[in-house]
Amino acid sequence: MNISIIGSGYVGLVTGVCLADSGNTVYCVDNDPDKVDSLNN
């Protein structure tokens, strides 16, 4: 299943990781470019 998480703060990021561990494809979206760059690395 493809899932989008809007906001990659504490709650969004933990939720995204748990859903990805369950075998889902997760896309996290955030408006903070530094946070997005950090997640991409």
Per-domain residue ranges for the chain?
A: 2-40
Q: What's the pLDDT at 41?
A: 86
Q: What's the pLDDT at 39?
A: 85
As a whole number of angstroms, the distance between CA 31 and CA 24 comes to: 23
As a whole number of angstroms, the distance between CA 38 and CA 3 comes to: 20
pLDDT digits (tens, 9 = 90+) for 1-41: 999 999 999 999 999 999 999 999 999 999 999 998 988 88
